[in-house]
Chain A
């Protein structure tokens, strides 16, 4: 039972355009969400997070949007750069329950074409 789903295995965008990565979740106990970027044979790198009490969080070129009623979040990268090419993972955590385990989606491979 996948509690966090990333339905698009891959995404290709042109340099300078917007990249939108999507994530859906089913567990209502999730109250904190994170995005990680990962290169092969390396550990995930933390990008940005959002608490369930917010609907938007920005950090430079990265913005995360959360729609709690739809159990959906998205990561926007503007403008996209070739160095952004990597696999992006959405993760969620039940912060309030004390369960400090990240539940990850299956990842979306982003390719930014020069």
Chain B
């Protein structure tokens, strides 16, 4: 089975712009979660989508949003970028209960200048 794929792998944006990141989960996985990794805050949960619905949300401002399509692919959007949004954004997919393992993609490295 192919793993989780994320595009693009690297991105450079300017403050105030917006960005959209894409994630394709492992075939058959219906749950997609997004995480942010920064040196200061570590790995933090952004949100989780299941069957096109946001099921869980982390403690991030409304500038961070996402969606999931009927084929389980997911996109994450960040509007009005700030310097502090520079991070590695990771997508993870899961088959759901009874196991809770999440399998991560390679990430998108976002740099905001």
Assembly CA distance A95 to B102 (angstroms): 12
CA distance A31 to B100 in the complex (A): 10
Given contacts A43-B104, A93-B100, 16 further A-B contacts (CB under 8 A): A34-B101, A34-B102, A41-B88, A42-B107, A43-B106, A43-B107, A49-B99, A99-B56, A100-B31, A100-B48, A100-B94, A101-B48, A101-B56, A102-B45, A105-B42, A106-B42
- Distance between Cα atoms of A98 and B53 in the complex (Å): 14
Contact of A101 among B4, B33, B104, B105 (CB under 8 A): B33
Annotate B60-87 by CB proximity to A: 1 below 8 A, 0 otherwise: 0000000000000000000000000000
- Asked whether B101 lies within 8 Å of A49 as measured between CB atoms, the reply is yes
B97: chain A residues within 8 A (beta carbon):
95
B57 to chain A, nearest CB (A): 9
Across chains A and B, the number of contacting residue pairs, with CB separation under 8 Å, is: 62
The A39-96 residues at the B interface (CB cut-off 8 A) are 41-46, 49, 89, 91, 93, 95
The residue of chain A having its C-beta at the shortest distance from the C-beta of B105 within the complex is A43
User: Please, which residues of chain A bring their CB within 8 A of the CB of B56?
Assistant: 98-101
Query: Which B residues are CB-close (under 8 A) to A44?
Result: 43, 90, 104
Interface residue? B109 (CB, 8 A) = yes
CA–CA, A102 and B93, complex, Å? 12
Main secondary structure of the interface of A (DSSP, over half): strand
Total chain B interface residues with beta-carbon distance under 8 A: 28
A104 close to chain B: CB less than 8 A: yes
Counting contact residues on chain A (CB < 8 A from B), the size range is 20 to 34
Complex: how many Å from CA A93 to CA B4? 20
Pairs A–B under 8 Å by Cβ, sample size 20: A32-B100, A41-B107, A43-B105, A43-B107, A44-B43, A44-B104, A49-B100, A99-B56, A100-B31, A100-B33, A100-B48, A100-B50, A100-B100, A101-B45, A101-B48, A101-B58, A102-B35, A103-B45, A104-B42, A105-B42
CA distance A40 to B102 in the complex (A): 19
Q: From A36, A43, A46, A100, give the contact of B55 (CB < 8 A).
A: A100
